[in-house]
Structure 1
Amino acid sequence: MGFNSFRFILIFLPILLCGWYGLNKIKFYEVADLFLVMMSIIFYDSFGEGLYKILLLSIFVNYGISVLIYYIDNRKADSKGKESIKKIIKVIGVLANLLLLFYFKYLGFFTENLNALTGTTFSAKEILMPIGISFFTFGQISFIIDRANGEAPCYSFTEYALYTAYFPKLTQGPIAFHKEMIDQFKDKSLRHYDADKMAKGIMAFIIGLSKKVLLADNLAKAVNYGFTQTYYLDTITVALVMLAYTFEIYLDFSGYCDMAYGVSLMLGYKLPVNFNSPYKAASSKELWQRWHMTLSRFFIKYVYIPLGGSRKGKLRTMLNVLIVFVLSGLWHGAGWTYICWGLMQGLLVVFDNLGIIGISDKKRSEDNNNVKKEKYLLGDKALVTIPRGLGNAITFVLFLISLVFFGSKNMTYALQMFKRFFFWTYPGFLYRTVENLAIPENYVFRQLLTQLGMQNAVIWVYMITFILLLAICAVVMRMKNTMEIIEETTYSKKTVAAFVILFVWSFISLSNVSTFIYFQF
């Protein structure tokens, strides 16, 4: 039962909102919290296989560690001894969470590579990975570290369970820190129905739903076919498939985050923003300040800074950046393709940090609207300075190329995709690829051409559909992001009508429900 399903929109969400605001209206605040925890568990359990038990086990164990730290803090002992014990508990707690993640996500990958290196024949039982395990595990790791460092109090069990299981962020993030969510849960003034928040939440949800259903899912039809037919593709088809995939992966994940933000806002709470128009970035470094922002800040706080950050010289800084990005790649998936993707992105950020290329950006002066001043990204003393537009284009293309690793099922397929991309081949599977775009929106045109005996011309309907989808995506990427749109939108009749049409169109398209790409992470 994802956000993009009839069950969620028609059944789960109405029950949730009625129960939540009803219980808070009569000031049954603790019961309301328990109700929200229960609904979050039901949402998670709807994905099947009883994997909610893993989530509950993780919550109980981590909360137990928090209580243990509480008793240590209140013991009659010297502070130095307490800190030593808490450090040990912190290490054990982090390792316990990583072990859980390793067992479900990386055991098969580790065993396979161990066998390849040593010639052994160990076998790992096929284990079903709980959806979103990387997201809720990282959230709890951040809590355990902050708790042991004295940066987090011992919350009540209900508060902690609600923070961890809160369903809008549970399966695909964002990775919210404990304070930014629990402080909101404690604020009783946020529990009253707010028409403005509800309206903005609905708008954000509709925008996210349309990104997913109308754009990402339709692009996925051609993309998925392309990645399974790598050995038969020609250069043009590879380029178009990769362009479509670059749009799809962004629209899929940002669409989910928009819906999660919208649902949470309907409940009165704000989730941390995860995207800030990343394809407007003019460098790889800037892109990662805009893409999956909560994952980036997690790695900066709990990996990059503890490793020394940028305080130990340039070489150490470069190494720290590479470590963070390799771990980021491994976080996304257990495979060498993800590691190579992370390494490539890390090398690009290291290159940006060297300051060889600078980005010039002309901005209007605040003092005089008629005078423009030069703003520099990556420093104003670079060897070469290029316009922001050119930097944006280069950054986008480099990110597109890196996604060959991200989307391929193994390194063999990735290398074959590169071969097809960089060494000209034609003809290929372009027609067969776009044939997958037999979607409801072009049904009338297909039927009309068929009735006129022009079956061969139907392929041009698919081609035009593909080009239109790519063009629409390109326009969407240059628009204001969802947060800016919902803050600036006025509730006029035209606006309401536009959102109603967008919702109805998306809702009708739910017959082709698909899962989100980031569910697997």
Structure 2
Amino acid sequence: MGRAFLLGMSLWFYGYFNPAYLLIIVSSVCINYLFYLWMSRLQQQDNNKFRKPVMIFAVAVNLGIIGYFKYMDFFIENVNAVAGTDWPLKHIMLPLGISFFTFQQISFIVDTYRGQVPKYDFLTYACYVTFFPQLVAGPIVTHDELVPQLLDTSKKKIDWDNMAKGFYIFALGLGKKVLIADVFGGAVNIGYGNIATLQATNAIVVMFAYSIQLYFDFSGYCDMAMGLGKMLNIDLPLNFDSPYKALNLADFWNRWHMTLGRFFTRYVYIPLGGNRKGNMRTYFNIFIVFLLSGFWHGAAWTFVIWSVLNGLLVIVTRMFKKAFDAMPSVLGWLICQVYFSMSLVFFRAARTRDAIDFFKQIFHLNFTSIYKNIMTAFATPGLKFLLDGSALANSLPLIYAAIYYVIALVIIIGCKNAHEKMVAFKPNVRSLLWTVVLFVTSVLSFSGISTFLYFNF
């Protein structure tokens, strides 16, 4: 596939959501390429005096762009709250995936300063930034992972094995999103729309429903990106490695959104000193990384609280590593999953007040039956076709919900992840039928517009 054609299709894909986004991403690409040329020229001139200031300025410009589009209203709201002012909000449109393609370019700028980037023409650079499978929700790809593949002429030929693998993984990701994540999302929306009436049982059901929704939503997108890349003979880095199989939160964060973790490790944690300056400095550096991760996810204090909660337990896990390692595996897994699911209440809640009210519903310990309107969110056409009219009619809503929770748990714990499946994939009639059935079922199950949750970040 020619790079010009790939760039055109990537920009069309991005602009399809909103043509106004194109001006932002094209401007961002052009500005950062000029910074790259500037630093490359300074390097050729062996002018080390100005290379670092240019790099800092380039990073500041990128962060300023994110700050304006993503955090301006958040800043105004907090200034108004603290200072008693009444500045009007800007209601700025948040460009799709701006955090992803900006962080990707920041990594490129810093690597250029470090002398790790060879000479790239503008077309190659633009294709690297805008490569559509991972443009709007990651993974965050480094230049050395993607650019050599884009320049490899052998990858321009159709590889039918890669096409089969890619379509299989794409269908798998689409199924995760449509057939599982969106179903749990229906129950989550009902629950968070009626927090005051939940009571303990329903709050717990909704809390774990969101944990499952987020898992399959993000996992599904990562699979689809990986599958699309494979169909184009491009191998994208692993971004999601069965995090819910982790036995502690430190291991969990090594498996979840791995390329974002890698970004913060390379460009924040290690420059701050990493683990080279004693335990207290290490814990501080970890805390900073998680704090920044919270702000990266969204302009709200709920995301900051969520990130701080996770950062604190990761620090505790490192401080008492021997004790955590000595725990029975089941206990370690339960602590990790329950703690993370509880932290996600802040991640999902629209306001901090809503999250607190949600926890009040749980800790009042007023256990009741599960509300029927929450359970009916799981009444998909397939289950209704199989079970309606049976002798269990009165219990069907509960059965629907139980089936989905069991299926989700079996997939999370007992199945290989998409990368493992892709490695083991063999094109045959059975895999073809499975792929087609999964893809068609997913398409026929579209019930409305439901974007991926990470599109918001």
TM value normalised by structure 2: 0.96
Q: Relative to total residues, which structure has the larger helix share, 1 or 2?
A: 2
Q: 1:434 aligns with which of 363, 372, 375?
A: 375
- Gaps in structure 2 of 5+ consecutive residues: none
Name the residue aligned to 1:389: 330
Letter in 1 for 2:351: N
Q: 2:29 aligns with which of 59, 64, 71?
A: 59
Name the residue aligned to 1:374: none
Name the residue aligned to 2:216: 251
Cα distance between partner residues in 1 of 2:230 and 2:427: 17
Q: Which has the higher contact order (CA 8 A, sep 6+)?
A: 2
Offset from partner CA, 1:385-422 (integer Å, 9 cap, x none): 21222211211111111111111111000001111112
Name the residue aligned to 1:471: 406
Offset from partner CA, 1:332-384 (integer Å, 9 cap, x none): 1111110000001100110111135445xxxxxxxxxxxxxxxxx5xxxxxxx
- SS state of the match for residue 138, structure 2? coil
Cα distance between partner residues in 2 of 1:484 and 1:394: 26
The question of 1:217 aligning with 2:178 is answered no
Cα distance between partner residues in 1 of 2:309 and 2:357: 18
CA contact (8 A) 1:239 1:421 kept: yes
* Same amino acid, percent of matched pairs: 40
Q: Cα distance, 1:491 vs. partner? A: 2.9
The question of 1:202 aligning with 2:167 is answered yes
How do 1:330-369 and structure 2 match up within 5 A? 330-359=295-324
Letter in 2 for 1:69: M
Cα distance between partner residues in 1 of 2:112 and 2:321: 41
Cα distance between partner residues in 2 of 1:428 and 1:83: 68
The question of 1:485 aligning with 2:450 is answered no
Cα distance between partner residues in 1 of 2:351 and 2:393: 34
How do 1:31-430 and structure 2 match up within 5 A? 32-75=2-45, 79=46, 82-359=47-324, 377=325, 385-427=326-368, 430=371
Cα distance between partner residues in 2 of 1:462 and 1:232: 19
Letter in 1 for 2:407: I
Q: Cα distance, 1:147 vs. partner? A: 0.8
1:435 and 1:260, CA in 2 relative to 1: closer, same or farther beyond 3 A?
same
Q: Cα distance, 1:446 vs. partner? A: 8.1
Letter in 2 for 1:215: I
Q: Cα distance, 1:38 vs. partner? A: 0.4
CA contact (8 A) 2:10 2:131 kept: yes
CA contact (8 A) 1:174 1:294 kept: yes
1:191 and 1:509, CA in 2 relative to 1: closer, same or farther beyond 3 A?
same
- SS state of the match for residue 345, structure 1? helix
Letter in 1 for 2:246: A
Cα distance between partner residues in 2 of 1:132 and 1:219: 24
- SS state of the match for residue 288, structure 1? helix
Letter in 2 for 1:406: F
Q: Cα distance, 1:71 vs. partner? A: 2.3
Q: Cα distance, 1:150 vs. partner? A: 1.1
Give the alignment's Cα RMSD to 1 decimal.
Answer: 1.7
- SS state of the match for residue 17, structure 2? coil
Cα distance between partner residues in 1 of 2:102 and 2:394: 47
- SS state of the match for residue 271, structure 2? coil
Cα distance between partner residues in 1 of 2:44 and 2:77: 47
Q: Cα distance, 1:184 vs. partner? A: 1.0
